[in-house]
Chain A
Amino acid sequence: MTSIPVRLGRQTKLEQRAFWRNPDYAFFTFLLPLLLLALLGAVNSGDEIGDRTDINAIDLVVPGVVAFAVMVSAYANLASRLAVLRADGVLKRIRTTPLDPRAYLTAQLLSTLTTTLLASAATILLGFVAFGVSPRAEAVLALALGLVLGIICFAALGLALSSAISHADAAGPITHATYLPLALVSGVFDPSINIPGWLETLVSLFPVQALVELLVAAYDPTADGVPLGASLVLAIWGIGAIAIAMRTFSWVPSRK
């Protein structure tokens, strides 16, 4: 057995290589957010937000789509990938080897972190190149922190959700059904969306809205500092998800 960092590095590299070879994963996690940003940008780049004169809709669409990239990659993709690995018996096979199961899962999470950071960076870059939108210079660190917090929270949620998916076929529908409606009402695709007050209160309790808020704060010139409430919401959801995942994670397929 080699040392733990070497082992983690090797396993992560292998997971990354396998990930990018899979055209479905590569498309959905990497290209989809870029495509979405290009489309949304073409449709409403010049729209106004409320009665604000300092920015256009596109300035807030970019962080929204970055949030979308995080959710697709760290949450939906991780959850369905693990669910498929479990249903196919790959996790069970891993469990027959002396490989420390924690090392295997850590490598999966590191690989997810890598993919998500790449997808987010590509989206941010496209926002700048195609639409001239960039984060506030003084908020770059806050953006990076928001991203990492968001990725940890959504990866933990993905880990927890994967245990609830018993069949590989259900992986896609279940993951998308859990975050797309929230993404819609949280203004991921349309920052000027108007929803009723009670729904807004409700939505603000969920991590999707919190992540959007953190990322938007890094782009909105009128924002200042890091939104603490939103950070707290992400942290609470993340810790809760880790607790659930630790109780429910299983290495073997559910009995037929």
Chain B
Amino acid sequence: MTTVVEVDRVSKSFGAQSVLREISFSIERGEIFCLLGPNGAGKTTTLEILEGFLEPDSGSVQVLGCDPLASGEALRPRVGVVLQESGFPKFFRVGEIIDTWRSYYDDPLPYDEILDLVGLRSDEAKLVRRLSGGQRRRLDFALAVAGDPEVIFLDEPTTGFDPEARARCWEAIAGLRELGKTILLTTHYLDEAERLGDRIAVLLDGAAGAIGSTQELAQQADLGVTVSFQATAEVAEQLAREFPGLKNADEVVDGQIDDVRSLTRRLDLLDNHASQRAFASLRVQPPSLEQAYLALVGRQSDPMDSRP
């Protein structure tokens, strides 16, 4: 594995406001890495440092082995960017602007491939000002990938989208992964991070609280798996006693357990006492990103926490 993006103890303040506090993470080639956090957590600031628009107060960053501030010229042909907010020249046509962007690069993606990737084939001749919000965002994508970059930075690519537009956008991002791109994506949507992110960094108040896949985050948050099943009153009682995380309500047991194997060893009880019905009702769910996130957020914003 090759490290493509390296962020090492980066801090950044604007005046008295500290936006990033010693944030560190690294991204491997071919990975989709999500920066997840509420508005104002420092996601955009992190991206702007990686894009060479901002200088960190302390710490260092590397993109493809280069310092983005000092080596912008070397990096720009290899990095595609979707900024959080950036306009288009409104009186260009979709096809014109894509072609213009392609001309900025030595080895661009084929024009038709770009149109198909972002699904703007039928809007080719439209003026940019006539596009809907979702179409504009897809054009953002088109311009970011026009140069066939190795690394792509996406700042909140689906904020403000309707569900259909989000689904299309996710498809496009998944398509980029298939092309072997390394992608850094910021979002405040949990489902987006869960769906797209190979690894997720939870960013809170300018610090990376936890980093990992959904399962790894759940482990860091000390979350077990969620189980529920039906059982006879006797078995339900017995299991609820054995596993403190489980609750028995009227022959329906549910709750969380740390180690799913400890329960599977006891599933013979269900087999013996309840019939098919019990097994049919058995549900085992890994922790969702939402549960992990809320647990991590709750822990960080604990009033006992001694942060300033």
Contacts and interface: CB of A to CB of B under 8 A. Distances in A.
Interface string A83-95: 0010011101101
Interface stretch (B95-103, B112-120, B189-197, B272-280): B95-103
A99 interface: yes
Contact of B86 (A14, A19, A89): A89
Given A1-B106, A92-B53, A97 B86 contact: no
B308 interface: no
B254 interface: no
Interface stretch (B75-83, B205-213, B288-296): B75-83
A88 B87 contact: yes
A97 B100 CA distance: 11
A87 B21 CA distance: 29
Contact of B76 (A11, A17, A98): A98
B103 A10 contact: yes
Contact of A96 (B73, B83, B103): B83
Given A2-B103, A18-B89, A93-B143, A98 B83 contact: no
Contacts of A90: 86-89
Interface residues of B, number: 28
B56 interface: no
Given A96-B76, A98-B105, A88 B86 contact: yes
B73 A98 contact: yes
Nearest to A103: B104
B206 to A, nearest CB: 17
A238 to B, nearest CB: 27
Interface string B51-86: 101000000000000000000010011011101011
B160 to A, nearest CB: 16
A222 interface: no
Contacts of A17: 91, 96
B87 A89 contact: yes
Nearest to A89: B86
Given A93-B86, A255-B14, A18 B92 contact: yes
B106 A96 contact: no
B260 interface: no
Nearest to B96: A14
A22 B91 contact: yes
A31 to B, nearest CB: 17
A99 B72 CA distance: 11
Given A89-B83, A92-B86, A97 B147 contact: yes
A98 B100 contact: no
Given A1-B106, A21-B127, A90-B89, A98 B147 contact: yes
Interface of A: 1-2, 7, 10-11, 14, 17-19, 21-22, 85, 88-90, 92-93, 95-99, 252, 255
11 contacts: A7-B103, A14-B96, A14-B100, A17-B91, A89-B85, A92-B86, A93-B86, A97-B101, A97-B105, A98-B77, A98-B104
* A-B interface, 5 closest residue pairs, ranked by CB to CB distance from nearest: A88-B87, A89-B86, A18-B91, A96-B81, A21-B91
Interface of B: 14, 51, 53, 73, 76-77, 79-81, 83, 85-92, 96, 100-101, 103-106, 127, 143, 147
Given A90-B89, A93-B143, 17 more contacts: A1-B106, A2-B103, A10-B100, A17-B91, A18-B89, A85-B87, A88-B86, A90-B87, A90-B88, A93-B83, A93-B86, A93-B87, A96-B79, A96-B80, A96-B81, A97-B104, A98-B147
